[in-house]
Amino acid sequence: MGTGGDDLRYEQPVRGDTLAEQVYRQLSTAILSGSFAPMERITIRRLAEEIGVSVTPAREAVLRLIADGVLQTTDKNAVLVPERTEAEIVEIFSIRRFLEGDMAEVAAPRLRDEDVAFLEDTQKKFLQALDAADYKEVLRLNSVFHFFIYTKSDLPLHLKIVESLWLRIGPTLRYMYPILHKNRVDHRRHEDIIESAARRDGGALRNAILNDLQSSQVALSQYIETYGSGPSPRTRRIRA
């Protein structure tokens, strides 16, 4: 499946979460997986219908994402996924390098053999999705791969900030993967991460994460140079 589909993939709700928290997590996962493109419009009522909740928790989740800077409203009170400027993207990656490098270094000695096996399995699925040009799945698996490592650091404040930054840039990143697909054989960045994780080498894992982020930023910059900051505004309403 390419990037043009409208189907959303919502993660399963966590038992004990409020409805608003469940919707927030499910909508966040959809944003990270590229289900929403820059300038896509989100309709709260349709979002509630899609997930199977009332309008109130859906509205609360959307308002939270607006407060976090992930979504924005227009002067006509429409809810949109904003485009990111090149300056914003540079700043986001600068902060990500600092925080994600720290989390990777702290996490390294805490990883177990089964954790490394999970990373290897996720990478295998990542490459399969890339071969199939299923860029939504590529985005989802890339976030699973990285956040699996970061959660092992037990640095919750770092993690919260990084999650917000990923959400801000996720919709724009989905346009980067056709460029990466052209360089399909060059997937050593994730493999370097796995190798460093297997050695429990904190410094090496930090460097491998930073190299991966650099590759992502370069690929995204290539897209911006070729096509601009994003597609022209879209007025259609997606199924959300």
pLDDT of residue 183: 61
Look at residue 14 and tell me whether its pLDDT is greater than 80: no
Give the closest residue to 149 by CA, choosing from 111, 198, 202.
111
Look at residue 185 and tell me whether its pLDDT is greater than 60: no
Q: Is 230 helix (H, G, I), strand (E, B) or coil?
A: coil
Look at residue 107 and tell me whether its pLDDT is greater than 90: yes
Question: Which tokens sit at 108?
Answer: 């390294």
Q: Which domains does the chain have, with CATH numbers?
A: 19-80 (1.10.10.10), 86-227 (1.20.120.530)
Average confidence (pLDDT) over 112-120: 98
pLDDT of residue 6: 41
pLDDT of residue 5: 38
Sequential DSSP letters for 158-225: HHHHHHHHHHHHHHHHTTTHHHHHHTTT--HHHHHHHHHHHHT-HHHHHHHHHHHHHHHHHHHHHHHH
- Distance set, CA 41 to CA 73, 126, 149 (Å): 10, 28, 32
* Residue that has been written with the tokens 């490592």 in this structure: 149
Look at residue 128 and tell me whether its pLDDT is greater than 70: yes
Q: Residue 191 — pLDDT band, cuts 50, 70, 90? A: very high
pLDDT of residue 7: 43
**Which residue type occupies 8?**
L
